[in-house]
Amino acid sequence: MRFILFYITATLLISCNCEDEYCEGINENFVNFYPYKDTPQLIFKNDSNQQLVFNSAIEIVNLAKVVDCHRDLGGTCSCFDCGSKMAYNNYITNSSRIIYDTLGRVYINYNWMEFKLSDELKEKNSAKISCRIFDAFFYFQVFPIIKLSNNVTDTLLPTFSIGNKTYNNVIVHHSDTTDIRNNPNIIFKPFVERLYYNIEFGLIAFYDIQTASLFYRSF
């Protein structure tokens, strides 16, 4: 009798469908908001011909997909995580900006640039872009309209020219360089004062405090 019950239970578990799950990906209409697709390297330079080279370390574009599901020994149907609906890039540079402690040890090594496009269409009927380079970070709504996250520190320029190139609709973010954390053992200092962002090309320029110069994208 026990064998029969085991056989029936096992048969029911196997026969119950454990179908693979469909995962919604980032909206295909948001592709125009993603400037770094298949971009292995970013180069910024200033008028003194100094260069900052950022090489791609991570690129993630979560498109629509089907993920595998399986039934475990307990009979539970489990599926792989769909992940966030986003596009993400991380770039690394050897020309880092470093925060030291009072003993001269490295506390923070700012050696990266990040970009993230978040598809929040289903939850909030919007999409958001965030961008970081060294210690500077900002974000804004890009869909359904461009909406600045801070109307005091951020502005939208109709045109902006630099490096023999003119861009339309450039967002300028002013970092709070006075926001220094109170820690007597760490020598905090800001590195980036302003960011210039264009929807089509991404981060096109930033003001670097260490060299007192404006670095702009070199294509």
Q: Give how far the C-alpha of residue 155 lies from the chain's centroid of Cα atoms, to the nearest Å.
A: 21
Q: Give how far the C-alpha of residue 38 lies from the chain's centroid of Cα atoms, to the nearest Å.
A: 15
Strand partners, 161: 166
Residue found by looking up tokens 């950022």 in the block: 54
Instruction: Count how many domains the chain has.
Output: 1
Distance, CA of 109 to CA of 58 (rounded, Å): 18
Residue 179: its pLDDT value, please? 66
- The token pair at 24 is 């919604």
Strand ranges in the chain using DSSP code E only, listed in sequence order:
21-23, 41-45, 51-61, 65-67, 69-71, 77-79, 86-101, 106-120, 126-133, 136-143, 147-148, 154-162, 165-174, 186-187, 192-198, 202-208, 213-217
Residue 8: its pLDDT value, please? 38
State the residue range of the domain holding 172.
Answer: 2-217
Q: Give how far the C-alpha of residue 182 lies from the chain's centroid of Cα atoms, to the nearest Å.
A: 28
CB neighbours of 18 closer than 8 A, spacing ≥ 6?
69, 70, 71, 77
**Total length of the chain:** 219
Which region, left, alpha or beta, applies to residue 30 given φ > 0 means left and ψ of -120 to 50 means alpha?
alpha
**Alpha helix locations (H) across the chain?**
2-15, 121-124
Low-confidence residues of the chain: pLDDT under 70: 1-17, 179-181
- Over residues 97-123, the pLDDT tens digits come to 999 999 999 999 999 999 999 999 888
Residue 4: its pLDDT value, please? 40
